[in-house]
Amino acid sequence: AQSVTQPDIHITVSEGASLELRCNYSYGATPYLFWYVQSPGQGLQLLLKYFSGDTLVQGIKGFEAEFKRSQSSFNLRKPSVHWSDAAEYFCAVGASSASKIIFGSGTRLSIRP
């Protein structure tokens, strides 16, 4: 069955510290992988996506993610977080860009001043 697991429900990091949000997926074929961010009261914004090619993907707002097929993982990273990064982050997998996207349960990120 297709699924996405985000093992961390809530993470708190200090402003300026590095960040890694974990994501593991289960998918029969080569998936499309996404990270979305949802700020309070806002819609979803795409941070980055992976289809093929270079396994290290650069996104907006200084985020990057690395696809590791052997580990079925697609972890999101940022070298130095800002207070404005506080939000809910969703990892997602799909057969194509917008076809039946399956979302993980989300990780809420809090930033410590």
Partner 1 sequence: SAVISQKPSRDICQRGTSLTIQCQVDSQVTMMFWYRQQPGQSLTLIATANQGSEATYESGFVIDKFPISRPNLTFSTLTVSNMSPEDSSIYLCSVEAGVDEAFFGQGTRLTVV
Interface ranges with partner 1 (CB under 8 A) = 32, 34, 36, 42-46, 49, 51, 90, 96-106
Closest separation between CB of residue 77 and partner 1, Å? 21
Cβ proximity to partner 1: between 14 and 105 the closer is 105
Closest by Cα among 95, 86, 110, 89 to 7: 89
CB neighbour class for 75 (10 Å; exposed up to 12, middle 13-18, buried from 19): middle
Between 25 and 32, CB nearer to partner 1: 32
| Longest Cα separation, the chain | 42
CB of 95 to partner 1, least distance (A): 11
- Minimum CB separation of residue 30 from partner 1 in Å reads 14
Q: Closer CB to partner 1, residue 49 or residue 77?
A: 49
- CA-to-CA distance for 27 and 6, rounded, in angstroms? 15
Contact between 57 and 49 under an 8 Å Cβ cutoff? The reply is yes
Minimum Å gap between C-beta 83 and partner 1 is: 22
